[in-house]
Amino acid sequence: MRAPYLQRDEEHALAVRWKDKRDQQALHQITTAHMRLVISMAGKFRNFGLSMGDLVQEGHVGLLEAAARFEPDRDVRFSTYASWWIRASIQDYILRNWSIVRGGTSSAQKGLFFNLRRLRARLAQGSANLSSLDIRREISVALGVSENDVALMDSRLSGADTSLNAPLVDDSGSSAERADFLVWDGPLPDEIVEDTIDVERRAAWLKNAMGVLNAREMTIIEGRRLSEDGATLEALGERLGISKERVRQIECRALEKLKSALIEQHSGFLHA
């Protein structure tokens, strides 16, 4: 905070040295002189429950990003340009760490997250006759988002994250965790892995067994049993130049050959 302010000419000269010569000392002077801007801007977001030190640190990242992108020949002060990068860096950090549940990252959603409380307080003070629905409608119009988005964000801001391992005690004194009351109808991870292994094993078995088929039998089995659409007997008959009844006979014979090959190769596993 004791670093001296930079005059416009001095700031421009340092920016040119950094841009053209990558002079680290010039970069250090620029960033040091503007750390008070980072601290001031981080203080505006201290009510989001995150460490002030972390906010300052993220703001400094934005300051360095601004220094890397700054064009000294444009007629703009570095502090004006850097303010946007500092604010964006701090806001991005808050959105990533305020809750374990990630919210929207669009400009509209960010504006809703950072302005909802302020707008709601201002509307409530401006007119005591406004209902909660009226306030929600006014906020949605002001920020260009839907009323459902406003309601969802309001619910997120009004309650903190709750651990699934938080204990719950009933009237009888027995305790359980919140996770114990979550219902999952899908397969368990071990069941998913088991099914995957079984599918891969059966596919390998089938691939090996297909070696007992001749070319015509292979074509019919692939067309009838291994394709998503499943070719008709008539279509395969036209393709092979035989009748559909003959296709059916060949298919039955090929299936019997596959069955015999699978039983012969893996009889021990199948019986188990």
- The set of residues, in sequence order, having a beta carbon less than 8 Å from that of 182 and lying 6+ positions away, is 164
* CATH 1.10.10.10 is the classification of domain 189-271: yes
Q: Tell me, what's the pLDDT at 272?
A: 47
CA distances from 10 to 13, 71, 179 (A): 5, 15, 60
CA atoms of 111 and 150, how far apart (whole Å):
11
CA atoms of 175 and 181, how far apart (whole Å):
12
Q: Tell me, what's the pLDDT at 147?
A: 79
Assess whether pLDDT exceeds 80 at residue 246: yes
Residue matched to tokens 């004791």: 2
Contact 56, 42 (CB under 8 A): yes
The backbone region for 61, taken as left when phi is positive above 0, alpha when psi lies in -120 to 50, beta otherwise, is alpha
Same fold, 8-97 and 189-271: no
pTM of this structure:
0.52
CA atoms of 37 and 269, how far apart (whole Å):
72
Give the tens place of pLDDT for each residue, 105-150.
667 777 777 777 777 777 777 666 667 777 778 878 877 777 787 7
Beta bridge partners of 175: 169
Confidence of residue 177 (pLDDT cuts 50, 70, 90): confident
Q: Tell me, what's the pLDDT at 245?
A: 93
Name the residue ranges covered by the structural domains of the chain.
8-97, 107-158, 189-271
Q: Tell me, what's the pLDDT at 267?
A: 66
Say what percent of the chain tops pLDDT 90. Answer: 36
- The set of residues, in sequence order, having a beta carbon less than 8 Å from that of 137 and lying 6+ positions away, is 147
Give the tens place of pLDDT for each residue, 185-225.
888 888 888 888 888 888 888 888 888 999 999 999 988 88
Q: Select, from the ranges 57-61, 177-181, 227-231, the one with the highest average predicted confidence (pLDDT).
A: 57-61
Q: Which CATH number fits domain 8-97: 3.30.2020.30, 1.20.140.10, 1.20.120.1810, 3.40.47.10?
A: 1.20.120.1810
Assess whether pLDDT exceeds 90 at residue 53: yes
226/157: higher pLDDT: 226
